[in-house]
Structure 1
């Protein structure tokens, strides 16, 4: 028996009353068999003549997202669950790219034929919700038990190059070994530059899943290296053995040290991949993955300040050093990166906590309004005075707003 959310039974009952047959398939079944919680549920619906009829059956259960209509898919969100209802179809590759498929919806298609278009045997396991039976025409359960990733069909596999990257992240996330036939075909597709037809956003989606969902993301990057896929990232491909090893070790270490924020963890892992790059190499590497300027800027800042943390740990530092560092980078993040790469940073973390600057810089006691209150008229000198005041504050010249005002009076007298 496959357990699924109870609210689905009302939907399944209505589908059955309309002569439809519902089969849960794909990642939800795979994850259930692996004892992994999942809130994405794919449901293939047979014996429904059109997308419009499926939509009419489902509309009472919530607002339907029609974004996948051309592929016979409608999405329904209930509570925290995302439901993808699909109609059985046959996909034929007619041109390059994600949308280069001729899609034919066939309501009477048998389960085996409909499932043959899927990528891997572990994603082709179905569950008939009426008969309460598991459907496994391609022996995906055996492959799960053997911890082996196999493709369903060679001909359909090569139609979507993204499946090569999906194979990599599945092997990494679920600790699977790639079947020899799948490995050789993936290597050939990469050699033939098949990945070049993919948008970088699609490539990065798969890489990001490897980074954020794997307990040992280095497995995915080692596999990319074996397959020859690092040619798409020249700076990584040219890495010396020691720096490559250091990056891989850091990736896995960040899994243990990571924050509760996925975006931050993503950025930390990317920074660990290019910790020894110069700014040009970092920009080149990130630009091949994403146009997100936040990612690029935060990675640049982390790598640029990594040597400072390493120097503090190996030599000495004072409070001013930490105050100054906190104006440039999030100290907790740079410490996680340093710990993952060098095993250094605990002493700095402790002192940054005591100074209350672990995740923010020290707030300035002196503000522009204080300059106006002192009798000054707004001018371009304000920024220089406030900068000097903050430097004095970081050096411990004053530690309260009252003392800052006293410092300001003395400063103005000396700069008349």
Structure 2
């Protein structure tokens, strides 16, 4: 805790003021300047209109538990925002003026649920028997020791709790109990900004406090078809110019990138990131390739032919963004993002298989069945998606279509490792050779049944 000494005219120490004291005062005056009293508007009829009965009943029971616990309880954040947008969202976040951890325990006891709490942050997760989860937090004030740092937390009021949030559209609450139960609580004109489809930060230091908000602004803008306000975009440009994203850990930066690439329209987010100059913080050499624009069409095709595995869409776009980087730039990017070894290994493998596939397309004009199988069986399903987007040829599409609609199923084997052992083949690397050769034989049409597999293995591996 940072302390500021307070002295009298004779320079004698008479007390101290903490950073928390200053922030609380700012939040109570300047921060609330938009709307000192806050909008209190009963929206119970809207809740009945837009929520299912199960969710309504749950909110009523939470209200009753809050009254018995003698605390004020609020639904906050995305749940309220999406309610106003008439978008289904069953993820309820609750803020408690009082002891949030104790209230979470009371809630869990009432529903026969279990609870996990984090005393340091005053947060809990209540997990119901059917797996449904509710996040519960003590109303809190946060401040940051430096840009990109995790916040320091102090207990506070719901007003201060809402003020610490990223954007006004996420700073709206619904009171769940007391005389003003089911009233909309809006201190910062969040409802107005939802209606106007605008993204506003709550204060001009927002992106300095947490540079992750730069990415979130783009995410919400593109998800809802909103527009980042001129003032907020100006604040973003200042933060970008000051390179505040450099203060984020690689893990946090990668997480924000993955969240963006998991959006329904990741390409729009990527283009917006490029426009604002945010891609440079992932890699200075990163470019938006033409293949990125073709990924949505390939994903639709994959869904149409019922791919055997559902691709991780974020990974397809991530592979596309990193594909053109040279090895040195890729290694630097992997280090900056603190990639786990498994992710890094997958990207290295998929970059290489795509490059080999493209080279083979150029040199071998007519792939034989076993060539199609051997080449594409080395690809992850995400690499196939990107390969088709970057190759963008009828021949590549034809090969992929043949592979997934015909050869992939043909190459399913009846024999297992146990069968090979019973036939007298010792476990080891030879198993991989046997299975690969078996699959090629299936694709060529040389064998079809289990009996033919057995006879083929005996002839090719045992008689020799």
Superposition TM-score, scaled by structure 2 size? 0.73
CA distance in 1, matches of 2:437, 2:302: 35
CA offsets 1:325-344 (integer angstroms, 9 cap, x no match)? 244124x5444223434544
CA offsets 1:38-65 (integer angstroms, 9 cap, x no match)? 232112222x2x3454344334132221
- Residue 21 of structure 2 is matched in structure 1 by none
Q: Tell me whether 177-186 or 274-283 shows the greater mean CA deviation.
A: 274-283
- Residue 336 of structure 1 is matched in structure 2 by 385
CA distance in 1, matches of 2:310, 2:87: 19
- Residue 196 of structure 1 is matched in structure 2 by 246
- Residue 337 of structure 2 is matched in structure 1 by 289
- Residue 293 of structure 2 is matched in structure 1 by 249
Q: Which residue among 192, 195, 206 is the counterpart of 2:256?
A: 206
> How do 1:1-400 residues align onto structure 2 when only pairs under 5 Å count?
1-2=46-47, 3-4=50-51, 5=55, 6-46=57-97, 48=98, 50-51=99-100, 53-60=102-109, 61=111, 62-67=113-118, 69-78=119-128, 79-95=130-146, 97-101=148-152, 103-106=153-156, 109=157, 111-130=158-177, 131=180, 132-213=182-263, 215-234=264-283, 236-237=285-286, 239=287, 244-253=288-297, 256=300, 264-307=312-355, 309=357, 312=361, 315-330=365-380, 332-344=381-393, 345-357=396-408, 362-363=412-413, 373=423, 378=426, 382=430, 386=434, 389-390=437-438, 393=441, 398-400=447-449
Over aligned residues, Cα RMSD in angstroms?
Answer: 3.6
CA contact (8 A) 2:141 2:154 kept: yes
The higher-RCO structure (CA 8 Å, 6+ apart) is: 2
CA contact (8 A) 1:247 1:273 kept: no
Structure 2: stretches of 5+ with no match in the other structure: 1-45
Describe the shift of the 1:120–1:363 C-alpha distance in structure 2 as closer, same or farther (beyond 3 A).
same
CA contact (8 A) 1:75 1:83 kept: yes
Describe the shift of the 1:353–1:234 C-alpha distance in structure 2 as closer, same or farther (beyond 3 A).
closer
SS state at 1:325 partner: helix
CA offsets 1:187-210 (integer angstroms, 9 cap, x no match)? 222222322222222222222121
SS state at 2:237 partner: helix
Structure 1: stretches of 5+ with no match in the other structure: none
CA contact (8 A) 1:93 1:159 kept: yes
Q: Tell me whether 397-406 or 78-87 shows the greater mean CA deviation.
A: 397-406
CA offsets 1:285-316 (integer angstroms, 9 cap, x no match)? 34433533333333333332335555559943
Give the aligned length: 398
CA distance in 2, matches of 1:225, 1:55: 42
CA distance in 2, matches of 1:405, 1:157: 65
CA distance in 1, matches of 2:220, 2:348: 29
CA distance in 1, matches of 2:241, 2:387: 36
SS state at 2:88 partner: coil
- Residue 13 of structure 2 is matched in structure 1 by none
CA contact (8 A) 2:173 2:185 kept: yes
Shift in Å, 1:177: 1.9
Describe the shift of the 1:96–1:334 C-alpha distance in structure 2 as closer, same or farther (beyond 3 A).
closer
Superposition TM-score, scaled by structure 1 size? 0.80
Describe the shift of the 1:252–1:174 C-alpha distance in structure 2 as closer, same or farther (beyond 3 A).
farther
